[in-house]
Amino acid sequence: MPAPQKSRVIGIKNAKQKSAKQRPAKEQQPKIIEEKSLETRIPPETQQLILNLYRNSFAERLDSDIQPLLQEVKGHLFDRNFKDAFGKEDYLEAYAARWSPSRALGYLGVLWRMRESLDLVQDSEGGADEAEQDLQKSYKIACLGGGAGAEIGTLGGLHRLLSDEHKESRTGSPKDLEVVAVDSAAWGNVVNQLTQHITTPPPVSKYASAAVKAANRPLAEPTAFKTTFHQYDLLTVDSESLAAVLQDANLVTLMFTLNELYSASISLTQQFLIRMTESLAPGAMLLVIDSPGSYSTVTLNGADKNYPMQWLLDHTLLADTSGGKAKEEEPLWEKVQEDDSRWFRLDDRLEYPIELENMRMQLHLYRRI
Ligand SMILES: C[S@@+](CC[C@H](N)C(=O)[O-])C[C@H]1O[C@@H](n2cnc3c(N)ncnc32)[C@H](O)[C@@H]1O
């Protein structure tokens, strides 16, 4: 089993951090404080294309005064009232226009760096028969808690980066992406709007040069990028529906969602993780990203104890959960990579109509054995 890679981290400056006084008692800050941003290896032009994707998908919303709506959404999120925060179409669009673009760029950096572990490229070498080639050509990603569209923008951008790399170096071509987003809120329109804008060329000025017009192309061709959306609660969805979402998935993502699931119910989340494991084939990858220092409270023998999110996750995925009765049982997951704290910082050259933020994340990549 390959050893988990720990990112080398060396001291962050200019990071907006809460002072120890403001910080909730439960939140323990990881030791890691600074990281050199490797994400900047993605050309700013490609990053700008992704911001443009959100600007074009939510153009009317961004052209109107979006601030009052954002204040209302923020208020509900602050109160942890997710039902209201994600309860109206206006709120969903405003949320996706404001919070998903920077997340999309942050996740793109992460996925771009792990692309070799993810097997996203199809060998250009011949050899496989036609049926096998069709199977190899398609790559299914289940984005759990992924309705808000950050993951959709990331995957559109990833497809573009892979196809640019293919064109430049004649290496393998990107596989067609089949994205299944699952969320408890009604994000179907947001997913559709983003998909439509990923698969059509962005608007270009009628005064643009012929060369610019000729080079204008979508992030991905419609045949190479398909999405579906299911409104399911991951903690209570029936096993058949969950299995159908996960069947043949190459990658499952849980981005800023797992800690929300743990906060709702640790035992239901553990059951969900076990059901997810049962539905995935060996080789499938699981990527979990969340805020660093996320804790959940477990009550044991009447006493409350705080457990870090990643501890609970490792406990369910990697530990022998048979209580020692079946020591010969093989583990079902191996950890491929982990990082307790990583910053994503926006490039100063990028433009967007409203303010976006840098983000900090912990990440964990597992492979189903
Ligand atoms: C903080 S948002 C993160 C959104 C997106 N993944 C991202 O990274 O920007 C958490 C998402 O998880 C969804 N969610 C929370 N609990 C859920 C559940 N039990 N089942 C399905 N989705 C859930 C919310 O509706 C919301 O879209």
For residue range 272-298, list pLDDT tens digits in order.
Answer: 999 999 999 999 999 999 999 887 777
Using a 6 Å cutoff on CB, does residue 310 contact ligand 1? no
From residue 130, how far is each of 123, 125, 127, 134, 352 by CA, in Å? 13, 13, 9, 6, 44
pLDDT at 17 over 70: no
The per-residue pLDDT of the chain, averaged, comes to 86
pLDDT at 30 over 60: no
For residue range 308-324, list pLDDT tens digits in order.
Answer: 999 999 999 997 555 54
pLDDT at 179 over 60: yes
Using a 6 Å cutoff on CB, does residue 294 contact ligand 1? no
Q: Which of 98, 105, 257, 262 to mutate to test the pocket of ligand 1 (most atoms within 8 A of CB)?
A: 257
pTM: 0.87
Atom of ligand 1 nearest to the CA of 99: 9
Using a 6 Å cutoff on CB, does residue 92 contact ligand 1? no
For residue range 149-177, list pLDDT tens digits in order.
Answer: 999 999 999 999 999 999 888 778 999 99
CA 214 to ligand 1 centroid distance, Å: 39
For residue range 247-266, list pLDDT tens digits in order.
Answer: 999 999 999 999 999 989 99
- Grade residue 114 by pLDDT with cuts at 50, 70 and 90: very high
pLDDT at 126 over 80: no
CA 183 to ligand 1 centroid distance, Å: 6
- Who wins on pLDDT, 191 or 304? 191
What is the predicted pLDDT for the residue at 36?
Answer: 41
Using a 6 Å cutoff on CB, does residue 84 contact ligand 1? no
Using a 6 Å cutoff on CB, does residue 94 contact ligand 1? no
CA 315, CA 273: separation in Å to the nearest integer? 11
CA 280 to ligand 1 centroid distance, Å: 21
Mean pLDDT, residues 56-83: 95
Using a 6 Å cutoff on CB, does residue 185 contact ligand 1? yes
CA 213 to ligand 1 centroid distance, Å: 38
Amino acid code (one letter) for 66:
I
CA 257 to ligand 1 centroid distance, Å: 5
What is the predicted pLDDT for the residue at 303?
Answer: 81
- Who wins on pLDDT, 31 or 333? 333
Q: Which of 86, 184, 238, 357 to mutate to test the pocket of ligand 1 (most atoms within 8 A of CB)?
A: 184
Q: Which of 260, 296, 359 to mutate to test the pocket of ligand 1 (most atoms within 8 A of CB)?
A: 260
Mean pLDDT, residues 111-137: 78
What is the predicted pLDDT for the residue at 135?
Answer: 62
Using a 6 Å cutoff on CB, does residue 73 contact ligand 1? no
